[in-house]
Amino acid sequence: MSSSATTMSPSQIAKLILLSIVWGGAFLFSGMAVEYLHPLWVVTIRVCLAALVMVVVLRAMGLQLPNNRKEWLAYLGMGLLNNVIPFAAIFYAQTFISVSLASIINAMTPVFAFLVLASFGVDRLTGNRIVGALVGVMGTALLFSTKLSLQDSLNLGLLLGLGAALSYAFAGLWGKLFLTGQPAVKSATSQLISSSVVMLILLVIGQVPLPTSLPPMSIIAALLALAFISTAFAYVLFFDIMSHSGPANAMLVTLLIPISGSFFGWLVMGDALTLQQMAGALIIALALIIIDGRLISKKVH
């Protein structure tokens, strides 16, 4: 995020809000699904179905899949860091924590992204980003239980959520190092195909059990929505915003996802946040505003 981002048009702002609803819904859909299916099956269904959709989109745009091993290895790395690891971590986390908390802890992704990129010399250290990172850590601390033990399911779930956010941050680094200049739809499609192959192999090696009975229609609908709406459609929407309004504006979605995620969690799953957790969420939101820097810059000037 940077203060040099372009101004968004009303249509792009509408798309940003829609994207936040779509990605906020992903936490609801996955939270519903893991109550009936093993988390790794949920990951597999999500990436496989989304990959099929993205192949159709790719062909419709006249683009081609990679045709050499070097490119596929780059997309394999991206698939692991941007899909396999974070999706698995989030879905396992949601067997311990609520939809609301999962969406809130995921908002730490931009904080970790800045720290990872700065650590590897890809991005520069700035005062607002350092302060924002520290504020984000303070907000995250408020989400955890006072029992500093992994025996506490809340702590375990939040740590898994932070692991997902960290993996997304390394995905950003991987993309800058190995995938710069690649068409966005090609990147999304190729990494989803790679992720699908990895997940199918993991299911076979791990002998991950299938449910003994067919899930209810509500769960099947949640899985389809997770794959088609919150993954394939979300990728297309996200890249459209990035191409028209720039990455800094696109990343503003991280401020909005916890709002929609928490709302859906309350509406459908009956989630309730404590005052301490709400304070933590607000502090994390403040951290993202500080890291973005634009609002503060406007106030200063």
> For every one of its 301 residues, what pLDDT tens digit does the chain have, with 9 covering 90 and above?
444 456 788 899 999 999 999 999 999 999 999 999 999 999 999 999 999 999 999 999 999 999 999 999 999 999 999 999 999 999 999 999 999 999 999 999 999 998 999 999 988 888 888 999 999 999 999 999 777 666 789 999 999 999 999 999 999 999 999 998 889 899 999 999 999 999 999 999 999 998 888 999 999 999 999 999 999 999 999 988 887 887 778 888 988 999 999 999 999 999 999 999 999 999 999 999 998 877 666 555 5
Candidates 197, 203, 189; CA nearest to 231 is 189
Candidates 284, 296, 277; CA nearest to 139 is 284
- The pLDDT of residue 83 is 97
- The pLDDT of residue 124 is 84
Residue 280, domain member (yes or no):
yes
Residue 3, domain member (yes or no):
no
Please answer whether residues 122 and 277 qualify as being in contact, where contact means their C-beta atoms are separated by less than 8 angstroms.
Answer: no
Residue 2, domain member (yes or no):
no
3-state helix vs strand vs coil in the chain, percent to 5: 75, 0, 25
- The pLDDT of residue 2 is 44
Residue 46, domain member (yes or no):
yes
Residue 170, domain member (yes or no):
yes
Q: How many CA atoms lie within 13 A of 7 on its CB side?
A: 2
- The pLDDT of residue 242 is 83
φ, ψ of residue 287 to 5 degrees: the values are -60, -40
Range of the domain at 102: 10-300
Residue 220 three-state SS: helix
Residue 260, domain member (yes or no):
yes
- The pLDDT of residue 297 is 60
- The pLDDT of residue 247 is 75
Residue 5, domain member (yes or no):
no
- The pLDDT of residue 298 is 59
Measured CA to CA, the distance from residue 99 to residue 301 in angstroms comes to 39
pTM: 0.92
Measured CA to CA, the distance from residue 154 to residue 143 in angstroms comes to 9
Residue 32, domain member (yes or no):
yes
Count of domains observed in the chain: 1
